[in-house]
Structure 1
Amino acid sequence: MQAVRKRQTSHEFTWTDSTGSKRTLPFLCYQPSNFQADATMPLLLFLHGAGERGTDLKLVTKHGPPKLIDQGEDFPMIVVSPQCPPEQWWADRENLEGLFQLVQHLQDDLPVDPRRTYLTGMSMGGYGTFALTAAHGELFAAVIPVCGGGDLLNLGQLPKVPLWAFHGRDDDIVPLVRSEEIVDAIQKNGGDARLTIYDNVEHDSWSATYSNPDVYDWLLSHELPKPR
């Protein structure tokens, strides 16, 4: 496989959709410099926004953790960043199934600690983060949706997963209320959810979020309980 960027390698995951058809999901994979094949490590799944959809994996490095990794930042975890097909959405049912199967594949194929698997996404990926957590929250120890939103009628497993959302107060692409209503609903259902609002920030609430070390410390402070 060819490296798209010096510190991230490109891969392609093949999975079977609900019709029995084979589909592919390309992704970038970063492994920390202290990566050891005989030791398990945390995994962070990052879902990009609508502008990075397509067939060119270089687009995925435009924002978020893949961008920071490309710029030389070190992360204390494996970071996997898939690419959504053109004209599709992460929150589409079939793409949620593909992401679910991808995480299962990564947990089997890489030395991933299944109790420390995390999820984050921005904009369209924020919607995908809410939706994937609602559908398959059992996979994730904690999640961070950035300037996203979701279906209030289908909270699913969201109240069971620690969640920290971020949003710009002046966002005119995805209004702040989209995060507020989901976080409020999770809290009313007994879940562990909180929201950080950036004053004087429009849609780009991801730059401040993903450059904040506290975000990753918060993720790593959570792990799933040991199986009984």
Structure 2
Amino acid sequence: MTPLARRHEVVEGEPVPADVLPYLLHLPEDYDADPARAWPLVLFLHGAGERGSDLEAVTRHGIPGLAEEGREFPFVVASPQCPASSQWVPEVTTLAGLLDEVEAEYRIDPSRIHVTGLSMGGYATWSLAVRYPERFAAVAPVCGGLWMQRPDPMRDVPVWAFHGEEDEAVPIGRSEEIVARLEELGADVRFTRYPGVGHDSWTRTYDNPALYDWLLSHRRTDRTGRN
């Protein structure tokens, strides 16, 4: 992918506005080849260990790490960093604003916006889909869960969830209960369980090309909801 681009870079010694998140942006290698082409967007949300003000920390795991190593992806990747004093779920409104900004500044296909994240980012992936179900073509939460929310509003959003069966940090039951509810609602939901795997269910997940094929196979259509 193109060299790493930094947006809203944190400047040491200067306060960061509450409604601004620093983020890394990766563009496909041929992004500039066709000025008329609109691209899918994947929002990647890191785990708790990557919070802070060092954007390079965001590349430790998952899609931004693979992109830094030279792996090519046929979509734009936006990878924000959560402040050290916060968590992703309270930042969902700010994340929605970040998506607005990326859509406005880059050639993004609004019908092909996806979100995925691990651990703390997995929680936020679920929460974003619950809060803004009309916005996402598909979501892929990894070892996450929901706090004080029901998944019902996202019943029309395709989901592929991942979790290690031996996860002690975020028990697999957190994903199981959401998936079970979505299945009751007739949702399009897949669930991959990793036997013998602990909290790190993200390495296998993001190394799997099938995940990206699955994400890109979905487009958001006008969803009026069901009663």
What is the match of residue 49 of structure 1?
47
What is the match of residue 70 of structure 1?
68
Question: What SS does structure 2 have at the residue aligned with 1:23?
Answer: coil
List runs of 5+ in structure 1 lacking aligned partners.
Answer: 14-20
Question: What SS does structure 2 have at the residue aligned with 1:10?
Answer: strand
The structural deviation recorded for 1:154 is: 2.8
What is the match of residue 128 of structure 1?
124
The structural deviation recorded for 1:22 is: 5.1
Aligned partner letter, 1:72: G
- Aligned positions of 1:104-115 closer than 5 A: 104-115=100-111
What is the match of residue 151 of structure 1?
147
What is the match of residue 170 of structure 1?
166
**Which has more strand, going by share of residues?**
1
Specify which of 170, 184, 191 is matched with residue 187 of structure 2: 191
- Tell me if 1:60 matches 2:93: no
Aligned partner letter, 1:155: P
Change in CA separation of 1:135 and 1:26 when aligned onto 2, cut-off 3 Å: same
Specify which of 25, 30, 34 is matched with residue 29 of structure 1: 25
Give the TM-score of the pair, scaled to structure 2. 0.90
CA distance in structure 1 between the aligned counterparts of 2:148 and 2:172, rounded to whole angstroms:
15
The structural deviation recorded for 1:124 is: 0.2
Question: What SS does structure 1 have at the residue aligned with 2:89?
Answer: coil
The structural deviation recorded for 1:226 is: 6.2
Question: What SS does structure 2 have at the residue aligned with 1:160?
Answer: coil
Specify which of 86, 90, 99 is matched with residue 88 of structure 2: 90
CA distance in structure 2 between the aligned counterparts of 1:57 and 1:137, rounded to whole angstroms:
28
What is the match of residue 10 of structure 1?
6
CA distance in structure 2 between the aligned counterparts of 1:181 and 1:68, rounded to whole angstroms:
31
Alignment root-mean-square deviation, CA: 2.1
Question: What SS does structure 1 have at the residue aligned with 2:161?
Answer: strand
Provide Cα deviations, 1:77-98, integer angstroms capped at 9, x if missing partner: 0000000011211111xx1100
The structural deviation recorded for 1:227 is: 9.3
CA distance in structure 1 between the aligned counterparts of 2:153 and 2:112, rounded to whole angstroms:
17
Matched-pair contact (CA < 8 Å) for 1:142–1:161: yes
The structural deviation recorded for 1:152 is: 6.3
Aligned partner letter, 1:115: S
CA distance in structure 1 between the aligned counterparts of 2:60 and 2:144, rounded to whole angstroms:
18
The structural deviation recorded for 1:155 is: 2.1
What is the match of residue 14 of structure 2?
none
Aligned partner letter, 1:163: V
CA distance in structure 2 between the aligned counterparts of 1:56 and 1:30, rounded to whole angstroms:
17
Specify which of 88, 96, 99 is matched with residue 100 of structure 1: 96
Matched-pair contact (CA < 8 Å) for 1:54–1:86: yes
Percent identical: 44
Provide Cα deviations, 1:31-90, integer angstroms capped at 9, x if missing partner: 010113431000000000000000010000000001000111000100000000112111
Aligned partner letter, 2:121: G
CA distance in structure 2 between the aligned counterparts of 1:171 and 1:200, rounded to whole angstroms:
9
Once the two structures are overlaid, the 10-residue window that deviates more, 156-165 or 110-119, is 156-165
Matched-pair contact (CA < 8 Å) for 1:115–1:226: no
Aligned partner letter, 1:39: R
The structural deviation recorded for 1:107 is: 1.4
Aligned partner letter, 1:79: V
The structural deviation recorded for 1:157 is: 2.4
Question: What SS does structure 2 have at the residue aligned with 1:165?
Answer: strand
The structural deviation recorded for 1:191 is: 1.4
